[in-house]
Structure 1
Amino acid sequence: MNYSSPTLRRALAAEYALGTMPMPARRRFEKMLSDDRALRQEVGHWQDVLATLAAPLPQKQPPERIWKAIQARIQPQKQAAKRPMWQWLVGAFASLAIVITVVFNLQKTEAPIYQAALQTDAAVTAIAINAYGNDIEVKPLAAAPTASDKSLELWIVPEKGKVISLGVVPAQGDSKRITLTPEQKSLIGNRTLLAITLEPLGGSPTGVATGPILYKGYLEPVKG
């Protein structure tokens, strides 16, 4: 295979960033990355593009017609007493379903306050972070696979004092939401440094980072 072809290199970098590359091919590609700076930059480009696409949509108010529809369904009807009980129950459940759908959609469009791209020393974005009011979301993008006896642990690195653990995070697969404690929330803000270390399975047993730093990056305000 001609790995010098720009078209092939772009395609491989995109497939690697998407996470769809088969594991044997992924291992071969990662060996190429260690010796090919231009290829690492190509992967970083695709990771930045994907991170932008993964950003949640801005919060929106539901249309007025939805609220009117809810109000029309839940208002007592003058002839409700004459209707059979099963009809009343069907209407009540339909109204409840509409309310739940509206609330769920509003929650899904919650916009983050801060974002961070945690990168390797080679400036390859491995994990994206979205920080909300009460929790953070960790999105694996191109983190290297970890051994079965190891875990990735996320830390807040304050300007003063010891690091604060945010827990174990996934290296690959689905994103993870982490609920923040009051202490953790007080440290989340503009230019907060986050770092991920390689720890024993389940996280550091001592409460402090024991392994090497694999990825790091600063939280920045989301431009809206």
Structure 2
Amino acid sequence: MNWTHHPSVIDRLAAAYVAGTLRGPARRRFEAALQRHPALVDAVNDWTARLGPLHTTLPPQATSAGLWPRIARSAGLAPAPVAAPTTWWRRWLDPVPVAALAMGLVVGSVVPVVWQARLEAQREMALPDSYVGVLATAKGEPGLIVSSLRRGKVVDLKQLTPVEVPQGKTLYLWRIDKAGAITAVAPLPSGKFTRVTLDEPAEKVFFPAVELAVSLETAGATPAIPTQPFVYRGLCGKLWR
């Protein structure tokens, strides 16, 4: 069967890819398919938004003495039993050792897989240069995706987890640079799919950003600094080489 036409298979493989448990030839085959199928890229982005907040919300854990030897075995640096072959795409989803899963979650949450996937897809499909922010809620849930063409003035927003906006308040977007300085960007409309027009090109607005954040501010105001805690916050990256 052509697995790229089956959403349930795509979703399971994308989850394994982002978690880091899709390994070896299976991972390389999936990455090759990413370059030809936008649906796979969207699935990887979705799972990155789901799993990424784990890196900031879970406390660090001390490793056991036997963890690294188990990681070495699962990485092929020591002999490991070989499972009997099944349908090729099902082999991608076979259970893996706990150590490999733990290592995969660390790698999957620290390494920005979404940027790598988008860059690979861009080489094949000539995707436009863009800035993209993947923001989580204060509870660590996937919250908001912010994207804008590099030289454009329109910002597209996809709200994954809505927040309540009281009457008289509005969502307000902020840029955070590498020094931690916070700069106002623009008020945002509330809704699942919305867009806002910038006063300046995205290249100028988002180039200094390493993070984006959103707070609730008084409607019609132009605050110099956030007056309320952030309801969304996350990394901002550029999608070009």
Which range, TM-score by smaller chain? 0.3 to 0.5
Bigger Rg over Cα: 1
TM-score (norm 1): 0.45
TM-score (norm 2): 0.42
